Copies of this chain bind each other. A is one copy, B any other.
Amino acid sequence: MTKPRVVETTFYVRYAETDQMSVVHHAAYVVWFEEGRSAWLRAMGSNYADFEASGLYLAVSEVYARYLAPALYGRRVTVRSRAEEIRSRTLKFCYEIVDTESGQALVTGYTRHICIDRKGSVARIPEEWRELLAG
């Protein structure tokens, strides 16, 4: 059995992502989770844009984030993402966000997804995508 593959993506914190607490606003990490998913799919040789072009969407059904330490403007962060619990119609992504230089854990969390078609009906994840998601 293969371990789920972890994909990393690293970028600078954007000034617009801070708030008046002088740290990154907590909603920004939810966007970073999504960017982690996008990077994960690109690393797998695919692209979520292609998935949508085929008429399917991985809608977000749940989001959870636990905040351990604040990310700061001027620093780089690394999002580590992996796919888990890949079922016929649903899957889960898990994330860990760290400060790139220090390695300090900033946020952990997950998102659950459900495959839907253009009308919003639940749909099966196509076999080739399930294989790709399973690594």
Please report A residues at the B interface, Cβ cutoff 8 Å. 11-12, 14-16, 18-23, 25-28, 30-31, 34-35, 38-39, 42, 47-50, 52, 57, 59-67, 70, 72-74, 120
Q: Report which of B11, B15, B16, B72 forms a contact with A48, defined as CB distance below 8 A.
A: B15
Q: Which residue of B lies closest to A23 (CB)?
A: B20
Residues of chain B within 8 A (CB-CB) of A63 are 26, 30, 63-65, 67
Question: 10 tightest CB-CB pairs across the interface, nearest first?
Answer: A49-B74, A18-B20, A27-B30, A26-B60, A20-B22, A16-B31, A63-B65, A64-B64, A18-B19, A27-B27
Q: With the chains together, A61 CA to B61 CA distance in Å?
A: 21
Ordered by A's residue number, 18 sampled pairs between the chains whose C-beta atoms are within 8 Å are A11-B11, A14-B35, A15-B25, A16-B19, A16-B27, A18-B20, A19-B20, A20-B21, A20-B22, A20-B73, A21-B59, A26-B30, A30-B63, A47-B74, A59-B67, A60-B67, A61-B66, A62-B65
